[in-house]
Amino acid sequence: MATARGEVIVRFEKVSHDFTIRKPILREVDFSIRKGTKITLMGQNGAGKSTIFGLITKTHEPEDGQIHFQHGLTIALGRQVIPRDQMDLTVR
């Protein structure tokens, strides 16, 4: 999973996930995350952002497709905290 620009640490291949039959969330999604990169997930409510996060953190399993993780990879979660005196700098 290595490339010239950086080592691929997570790769989604044709990943699909549904919570109900009538509401598909992800359909055959393909993407890679390289070591040392920062990513942003943006989209409307219900677009699948939290589902992708759950698949990466292994709290969800894909219905179809495969997710490849670099051997020995650990996923850490960082809580976003904004000091009260800087709240005016956020989007509201």
> Across the 92 residues of the chain, what is the mean pLDDT of every consecutive 10-residue run?
72 92 86 90 89 92 96 81 78 62
Which DSSP helix (H) or strand (E) runs through 56? helix 49-56
What does the pLDDT read at residue 3? 46
What does the pLDDT read at residue 46? 86
Closest CA to 32 of 67, 78, 60: 67
H helices of 19-68, in order, are: 49-56
What does the pLDDT read at residue 84? 81
What does the pLDDT read at residue 70? 95
- Which residue ranges make up each domain of the chain? 2-89
- Please state, as a whole number, how many other Cβ atoms lie within 10 Å of the Cβ of residue 55: 22
Three-class SS of residue 85?
A: helix
CA 17 from chain centre, in angstroms, equals 13
Which CATH number applies to 2-89? 3.40.50.300
